[in-house]
Structure 1
Amino acid sequence: MKKNKKIALVQLVSLFILLVALSGCGVRSISDSGYRAEHGGNARASNPFYNGELSELAVLGIDPGVAASQEEINRSLAGRQKLVLPKGASLMLVQSGALMPDEEMLRDLEQYYAVAAFSGVPTGREGGNYATALRLAAAKGGCDTIMVYWGALETAQKSKGTKALSWLPLVGGMIPDEAQEMRIRLKVAFIDVKTGQWEAFSPRPFQGTAVSARYSREVADQGQVAGLKASAYADAVDTMVKKYAK
């Protein structure tokens, strides 16, 4: 009996440690990247237009409910062509979850391509026809390729030694007492408007640390978000041009 109680106690302590570790972590979309006052990302969406993310399956025209034959797979492999995005080409840009793509991504892409921005806000009605509807919209806009990208910001907070001083109502609120680790990860998909053929890649993640006091949390957080987005977008475009531009 004592042994069972000891095991149960160890399990309970382990669970408590896990919950404490997770309480300082959070994940938010790059399309809803405003400050979260609550650790763990449980605060309400900071972007009033944010309504979730676009489904990769819908964007790429994949219907998991439809069986594919081996012949279809073979034909797709045999007819596959290398994706090329020559400089100056017309590109329809979609940021999943956002009414408009972030300005930094637009600015970086416009150095090499003619970019048309398109909404990435899901309506809840995306289905098997969404991919072809997206391609039709791009075709009517004179775009040869669609670029859709998703992104996540992952954060974790660590208390500093000065946290004990934060009981001071004024001074404590101005003493840096928390370090926030943040990482941004992107995923990019290109869709050929004419054929529907697609290709995807994941740029390298970027990470940074920001130290803040109680009254400077939001400023530090948003500065961190802006800096990581700028670095990740610039690197994604640079990688894209080196890989696909001719």
Structure 2
Amino acid sequence: MIGSALPALDTHAHIAPDVTSKQIAALGQSVTFAMTRSLQEARQISSRRDPALVWGVGVHPGVPAARDGWNSRQFTELLGSFALVGEIGLDRRGGDLTRQRSIFRELLNIVQSEPLLVSIHSTGATSEVVEYLHNADMRGAILHWFNGDSDDISGALEIDAYFSVNAAMSEDQLRLLPPERVLTETDFPSRKVRARKPADTQRIEQLLSQVWGQTPEEVRARVWWNLRTLCETSGAIDRLPEPIADTLLYL
């Protein structure tokens, strides 16, 4: 399937748990990975079946209420309903790093052997997050808005991590990332990215086209192929909504 025929791919955005079918339809032809910030939010959407969305079960490290609501048993019970965990990770500005580290360690222990995609936050803690992933022998990892240095990136590549990137990232940072490991994101509603809505990926596709010397259509086809590879190697393809899995299988 050529890039122009593929839907926009947003592998990290935030969508309200009570989003309506009409609001989802307004996103047009697109596929969005919809992160939750807490187990409470994840419970709200655990029974939803939205063909254009891949919902995640998350515990955002920088949200105190999410940390307060962490419960490993409840997370494990929810996990069977999801192909995606997100977002989780560490945030050096988010407070109570001791509690963040404890939760992140527990989460990785639970998900490391599951056929899942895992979207990981690493603000101010890129080296530490990569070290945690090594210790967990992690697979299916997607490092969201990753601004680590070349050593961090090398370490992430050693455990087959992928990188979701957005239009707020610099060209210099994007050039450090192997094209075969890159996915597109908006992190909607982040003001820095200036995406008008989830799956508004045109700006990052244009930026990658400049960095890679390819057309935006070729960029879109590249990131979809990357997602297929990641989903197959992690086993998550079997948990994805059927329309999205079919798109991957017929690339």
Decide: shared fold, TM above 0.5. no
Q: TM-score, normalised by structure 2?
A: 0.24
Whose strand fraction is larger, Structure 1's or Structure 2's? 1
Larger relative contact order (Cα-Cα within 8 Å, sequence gap ≥ 6): 2
Whose helix fraction is larger, Structure 1's or Structure 2's? 2
Q: TM-score, normalised by structure 1?
A: 0.24
